[in-house]
Structure 1
Amino acid sequence: MTRLALYLRLVRLDKPIGILLLLWPTLSALWLAADGHPNWSLVAIFTIGTILMRSAGCAMNDFADRDFDRYVERTAARPLTAGLIAPWEAVAVAALLALLSFVLILPLNGLTKALSVAAVAIAASYPYFKRFFAIPQAYLGIAFGFGIPMGFAAVTNGVPAPAWALLAANIFWA
């Protein structure tokens, strides 16, 4: 298997449902914030950014869980767990994807950029947080839904109460 194929498996592009779980809340936020008429460049930025960050999150998760995943049938064959790629490669892939997603939002306002820093921190901390938190799905819901405040910020340069309500609903949905 080529390196590229291993990296694509690492970031789970063969399992796109995870992308949709992040994309629908984000696109909903863009549509709501723009009163049903979002700027198509924002739709493109957030769609590509969602794919990149979900992929980065998968690589981060596999790095964090590499010592546990070998004991779980569902995860034992993942490229990092199976020893097909090195831990530093997973970190490098995650960092590159996160950097590319940040480059996408450079033309956007400062609030969106600031929220993106929080989004990366949440995504990077989830694999560790889930070990100690009684309901890790709630934290994952924040990670999966953080495109909501970012989408509102990109459209309105603010995060109004409806955005936080939508994020809360997303947390309960997750």
Structure 2
Amino acid sequence: MSDTTRTPEPEGQVSDAVRGNWVDSYAPAWTRPYLRLSRADRPVGTWLLLLPCWWGVLLAAASTGWRWFDLWIILGCGLGAWLMRGAGCTWNDITDRKIDAQVARTRSRPIPSGQVTVEQASAWMAIQAGVAFLILLTFNWAAIGLGVASLALVAIYPFAKRFTWWPQVFLGLAFNWGALLAWTAHTGSLGLPAVLLYLAGIAWTIFYDTIYAHQDKEDDALIGVKSTARLFGDDTKTWLRIFMMTSVVLMTAAIVMGLLSQDGVVKLFLGIAAAWAFGWHMSWQLSRLRIYDGSNCLMLFRANRDAGLIPALVLAVVILL
């Protein structure tokens, strides 16, 4: 006779969290609701916020020369991405608490499930944003100004799905701001390569977040929430192919402009290859996408961490050459 006993899921675990994640397995019980608010049990979002930062600083370093302070920019962006993603997700959960309670995938989140109150969540958001601001103060004034300006995008994003079919654009505007900030933290001013990299990231965000949004399209339709997943419908792959190509072209242009001042064809070749390998990964995702399979959509969404790591790692190699 087979053993059908199953290990119970930890109390309060969010439905789309990675099973066996460190929050639900090891974090002290009193911290878990707050870490779940920050999506610490779902780390891919932190990667997706961080990687454009790394693109920006690594392309800047490859373009104008490596400085030891760049190590702090890389580390500081990592800490800042974790904190600001947490603060942004907490803000999102505060504003969306009534919507989340009506969607199967999100009703287990800490606020609609009653694990924390709105007041507790607001205090946690302020703590995360405050520590992130202290990290931002270690950068130059231009980067600090950009960091403060990004708060407007963070504040607006949760409301976008109420008034536009393109909330993924607003997410892209917010999530890829780090490409501008990290470039500026290295160089002291904005440059066209950083702007092109930022635009490439926005197209990438529309690509991966449309895949993500297909998990909720039935519930979204019932409660009137808009998304590109609902807008594109059965034409999703065609639209995503357009955004994939747009992202690759813009990233290629950013890298070419950033590396033209450097001697050596090898560096330029590697940079272009990085952008095209990034596109290859997205093409691989498209070949496997099944928009009516929620688990497939979640798996491919998470795979974008690896897609974004490709140009970051290759640019790091370019710096070493």
Report TM bin, short chain: over 0.9
CA deviation vs aligned residue, 1:11-58 (integer Å, no higher than 9, x gap): 110111111111111101110011173621111111100111111111
How far apart, in 1, do the equivalents of 2:146 and 2:30 lie? Answer: 33
Aligned to 2:89: 58
Secondary structure of the 2:111 match is: coil
* Deviation sequence 1:41-83 (CA, Å, 0-9, x none): 1111111001111111110100000011100000001011111
Q: Amino acid of the residue matched to residue 38 of structure 2?
A: V
Q: How does 1:21-40 map to 2 (within 5 A)?
A: 21-35=48-62, 37=66, 39-40=70-71
Q: What's the offset of the Cα at 1:127?
A: 0.5
Task: Provide the TM-score with structure 1 as the length reference.
Answer: 0.95
1:166 corresponds to which residue?
Answer: 197
Instruction: Confirm or deny: 8 A CA contact 2:160 2:166 kept in the other structure.
Output: no
Residue 46 of structure 2 is matched in structure 1 by: 19
1:117-132 equivalences in 2 (<5 Å): 117-132=148-163
Alignment match, 2:35: 8
Q: Please give the per-residue CA displacement for 1:82-101, whole angstroms capped at 9, x wherever unaligned.
A: 11111011111111111111
- The whole-number CA distance in structure 1 between the counterparts of 2:140 and 2:161 is 32
In structure 2, which of residues 131, 140, 144 is the aligned counterpart of residue 113 of structure 1? 144
In 2, the alpha carbon distance for the partners of 1:151 and 1:75 equals 32
Structure showing greater relative contact order (alpha-carbon pairs closer than 8 Å, 6 or more residues apart): 1
Aligned counterparts, 1:80-119, within 5 A: 80-119=111-150
Asked if the contact 1:56–1:94 (Cα under 8 Å) also holds between the matched residues in 2, the reply is yes
User: Higher mean Cα deviation, 114-123 or 57-66?
Assistant: 114-123
Q: Which has the larger radius of gyration?
A: 2
- Matching of residue 156 in structure 1 with residue 183 in structure 2: no
Task: Give 1:107 shift.
Answer: 2.0
Please tell me whether the aligned partners of residues 84 and 128 of structure 2 are also in contact (alpha carbons under 8 angstroms).
Answer: yes
Q: How many residues end up aligned between the 2 structures?
A: 174
Instruction: Letter of the 2:51 partner, please give it.
Output: W
Paired with 2:157 and 2:66, the residues of 1 have a C-alpha distance of 33
Deviation (angstroms), 1:133: 2.0
1:129 Cα offset (Å): 2.4
TM score, norm. by length of structure 2? 0.53
Distance in structure 2 (CA, Å) of the matches to 1:78 and 1:64:
13
Give the CA deviation at 1:3.
Answer: 2.8
Gaps of 5+ in 1: none
Q: Percent sequence identity over matched residues?
A: 38
Aligned to 2:184, what secondary structure does the other structure show?
helix
Given residue 48 of structure 1, which amino acid in structure 2 is its aligned partner? L
Q: Are 2:161 and 1:134 equivalent residues in the alignment?
A: no
